[in-house]
Structure 1
Amino acid sequence: MEVDYKKYFDLFMEQFPELSPEAKNFTRASLSLEKYSKKEFLFKSGQVQKELGYVCEGLLRKYYISEKGNKITTSFLSERGYATDYPALLRQQPSKYNIECLEPSIIIKLPYIKLQEAYFKHKESEMYGRLMAEKVLTREIDRVESFLFENAEERYLNFIENNKHIINRISLTHLASYLGIERQSLSRIRSKLAKP
C-alpha cells in the first residue's frame, strides 16, 4: 500500500510544480488517502466538509434533493478533478449537496485547516489555491450558463464533447438529471442523433 500512497501523492503534487520545497513538504505531509466503495458518500447534505477532495481514481456525482424528493445531479467528478462543495468548504458551513461514488474511488484529502495554513505560511500556495478555485467555479458556472443559453440537445452534445472520458461510465438516469430533462427526452434526443 505504501507504493500506492506515493504514486497518488505524487500525482496530486504534480499540479504544483513551482512550489518551494518547504511548501511541497508541508502540503504533502498534510495529505491523506482514502478508498471508497461504489455508492459510498464522500459527504452528505447537512455535513460540513472538512477536507478538499481530489479524485485519483473513480467517478462521483454531486447532487441535491429537490422539494419533490428528486435527486438532481449538478456535476460529475472524475480523475484529476476536485470533489467539493467549494463555497460551503470555504465558509465551513453545512453543504446542501451529497457527493456519492458511482464507482470505487480513491480520493486524496487535504484538510481545510491545512490549506489555510499553507496560504499563510507559503505565499506561493495562494496562487495554486486560486487556480483550484477557478477550476471548480468555472465548472459550476458552465453548467448554469448551459441552462441559460442552450437547449437540451445542445447541452447533451456539449456534454459529450467535453466529457468523452466518462460518458460511457454514467447511467442515462444520472445524465438526464444533470441535463435537466426526463430520461425519455434524453432517449429521444439520442435516437434522433443516431439517425443518418
Structure 2
Amino acid sequence: MEDAIRQYKQAIHQLNPGVTADEWAYFQSGFTIHTLKPKAFFIEAGKHNHQLGFITSGLIRGYYLNEQGEDITTLFVSENGWATDYPSLLMHRPSRYNFQCLEPTTLIAVSYEHIRAGYDRFVGFERNGRLIAETVLMEQQRRIESFQFDSAEQRYLDFINSNPSLFNRISLTHLSSYLGIERPSLSRIRRKIVGL
C-alpha cells in the first residue's frame, strides 16, 4: 500500500510541483485503496460516480452499450492513469459508462466531496483538480479528433505508438471497438503493417 501511495504522490507532484505538505496530507486523508479482480467494476452504468480513481497497477476498460446491446469501448486506463466519469461526477447524474477491470487492478480513490472540501480549504488545491481534469480532457479530445481527421490505419498506428505497454494486454475485439474499426479490417491493417 505504501508503494501505491508513493506512486500517487509522485503523479500529483509531476502535475503540480507546488503541492504543499499540508495539501498532500489533507488529500491523503481522503484516500481509499481498492484491489479489484478482473471483470469487477469501478464505475457502473446507471449508478452515480462519486470518486476520482488513480490506477497504480492493472487495467480498466471504459465502455457503453449501444442500442443494439453491443458494448463500445471508449477508453483504456492503465498504471498512472485517472479513472472517472466527469459528467457523472460533476453533475451528480448516473453514469452512462461502465469502467471494468481487465486485469487485477489496484487503484486509489478520492471522493469528489473530499476534493471539493479541499478546494475551500487550500488556495492552491484547485490547481490539482484542474490539472487532473485537463489531463483527462486532453485524452478525450485527442480521441475525438482522431475519428474526425485520421484514417483507420493512422488511428491504429497512433494507438500502438502512444500505448506500447497496452498492445499485448487488450483483446483485438476491444481494440477494434475502441478504434472504431471492424475486426476483420483491423486484422488486415495489422497484416499490412507487419508486411511493410
Within 2, Cα distance between the matches of 1:129 and 1:123?
12
Q: How does 1:1-196 map to 2 (within 5 A)?
A: 5-14=1-10, 15-16=12-13, 17-196=17-196
Distance 1:167 1:195 in 2: 18
**Cα drift, residue 151 of structure 1:** 1.1
CA-based RMSD of the aligned residues comes to: 0.9
Off by >4 Å, runs of 4+ in structure 1: none
Superposition deviation, residue 86 in structure 1: 1.4
Q: How far 1:8 sits from its partner (Å)? A: 1.0
Q: How far apart are the structure 2 equivalents of 1:122 and 1:193?
A: 51
Distance 1:13 1:90 in 2: 24
Query: What residue ranges of structure 1 are gaps of 5+ in the alignment?
Result: none
**Paired positions, count:** 192
Q: Distance in 2 between matches of 1:74 and 1:45?
A: 13
**SS of residue paired to 1:167:** coil
Distance between the aligned counterparts of 2:20 and 2:144, measured in 1? 37
| Contact 1:63 1:71 (8 Å CA) reproduced | yes
SS at match of 1:168: coil
CA distance in 2 between counterparts of 1:93 and 1:123 reads 28
Matches of 1:151 and 1:72, distance apart in 2: 19
**1:18, CA displacement in angstroms?**
2.0
Taking the aligned partners of 1:133 and 1:109, their CA distance within structure 2 comes to: 15
TM-score, with structure 2 as normaliser: 0.95
Deviates more, 1:170-179 or 1:8-17: 8-17
Name the CA distance, whole Å, in 1 between partners of 2:75 and 2:193: 24
